[in-house]
Amino acid sequence: MQSVTVELGAASTMELVNALSTIATELAQREAPESAAACLELTEALVTASGMQESALAGFIGRVDAAGEQARWGYPSVQAWLRSRLGMRDSRAKERLTLARQRHRLPEVRAQLASGDLSYGYATTIADSIARLDDTDCAEAEATLLSFIDQGFSAGKVAAFGRRIRDLIAERDDAEDAPDEDTKRGYDKSWLTTTRSLDGGRYVKGWLNPEDAAIWDGTLAPLAKPAGPDDRRDLAERTAAALSSVLSGGHKASKVTVICDLETLTGGNAPGRLADGSPIPAAQARRIALSAGVSPLILGRGNTPLYLGYRERFASTAQRQVLETMYPSCAVRGCEVPGTLCEVDHVHGWALGRSPTDIDQLALTCGWHNRFKHTNPDQIQITKDRDGLYVYRLLPPADARGSATGAGPPGNIGRPPDSPALDWAA
């Protein structure tokens, strides 16, 4: 049992967060009351309090985002920080980031969320609805959407109204001639965004510069032609099918990497696994080997030259194939970039003369973390796991390691001027 005494007006923001954490810990360890009616009432009160907590959280996230603080800690974006360090789902991280970025344009939503008069779900729905509107339209949309909430409409209905408002504004502004925020990225560099739908599909939106558009047309246009007089698909459907054909290799044989013991191929029962870690039965591994060419990868000195020493600066194709088998994603713990999209990293730095281009001195890291490791070597801790693979762990910046590890008493961050110290007992 812990006791916390807080003078609310005098306590610093850090002290309030610490007190809230202590209370939450105590509350989580208690069993729910026997009375279902009491539980219903407590749930409503706690959800309201959680909404107010989300208001404060949006302020914190917004300050991190504006300052780019996450980059000093080794994260390429605020969304990546929320996912990797705090364990949020991508959708929840995006939701909170949108609210943090839009709250300054939604004064009424901000005030009602902070007072507990508006739920977090409604607040994020409005923030997402106005994200692409200018300030004038944003103010009108905020008032309109709040009025729908006052009428008792659900968050789903309010989201639908928000989409309709965006459509009407787009029609008013003749959006076909006026580029939206995405196309304002410019026309020099190609870009592509994708969003997964609830049913497992994916929305795709983007822009290709003239060079990439020529590649697109030259590759897909021949494949997108009608298959014959009975082909009822429209051009959009044929283009999607052509893209899928190219991505899957089309008529070319697909490459499947299977990791297994030699005994498995010769009749053993030890299961194999795919490059992403998915296990497959021994019999299935043998069937794959029999129906396709087998290309062995030798993890050592042998038929495939995997130890190049200091003679070669860059990893060979064979080395990269082995590394993609060993590292399904970036070696940085928590980073989700697939290994196939990563760069080969000399673990101890090739330029320093300490890490030859040998397979046991290489790992895969995404481009962002590869550069971060080079410029911030003191913020990367390198270890090996049970399988002998390198694991990179991000460390806080040197000036933040005391607060990050919880060392020392609660600080005075956010304390009002001339405020007395917190009476803290545990």
Mark whether 42 and 72 lie in a shared domain: yes
In a domain, 111, yes or no: yes
- Total of domains in the chain: 4
**CA–CA dist 170, 164 (Å, integer):** 10
Q: How many CA atoms lie within 13 A of 415 on its CB side?
A: 15
**Average pLDDT score over residue span 166-170:** 80
In a domain, 421, yes or no: no
Contact criterion met (CB below 8 Å) for 241 and 235: no
Domain range spanning residue 341? 317-401
In a domain, 411, yes or no: no
Q: Is residue 253 over pLDDT 50?
A: no
Contact criterion met (CB below 8 Å) for 318 and 302: no
pLDDT value for 411: 45
Phi, psi of 231 (to 5 degrees): -75, 105
Mark whether 274 and 325 lie in a shared domain: no
In a domain, 272, yes or no: yes
Residue 359 — pLDDT band, cuts 50, 70, 90? Answer: confident
DSSP state of 398: G
Mark whether 346 and 228 lie in a shared domain: no
User: In the listed set 116, 140, 172, which residue is the last one of a domain according to the structure?
Assistant: 172
Mark whether 153 and 50 lie in a shared domain: yes
Residue scoring higher pLDDT (253 or 284): 284
Mark whether 35 and 167 lie in a shared domain: yes
What is the amino acid identity at position 165? I
pLDDT value for 256: 63
Mark whether 41 and 167 lie in a shared domain: yes
Model pTM?
0.62
DSSP state of 131: T
**CA–CA dist 136, 184 (Å, integer):** 19
Phi, psi of 258 (to 5 degrees): -120, 130
Mark whether 126 and 198 lie in a shared domain: no
Mark whether 39 and 137 lie in a shared domain: yes
Round to the nearest angstrom and report the end-to-end CA distance of the chain. Answer: 8
Residue 292 — pLDDT band, cuts 50, 70, 90? Answer: low
Q: Which residues pair with 346 in a beta bridge?
A: 362
**With 0-12 CB in 10 A as exposed, 13-18 as middle and 19+ as buried, what is 420?**
exposed
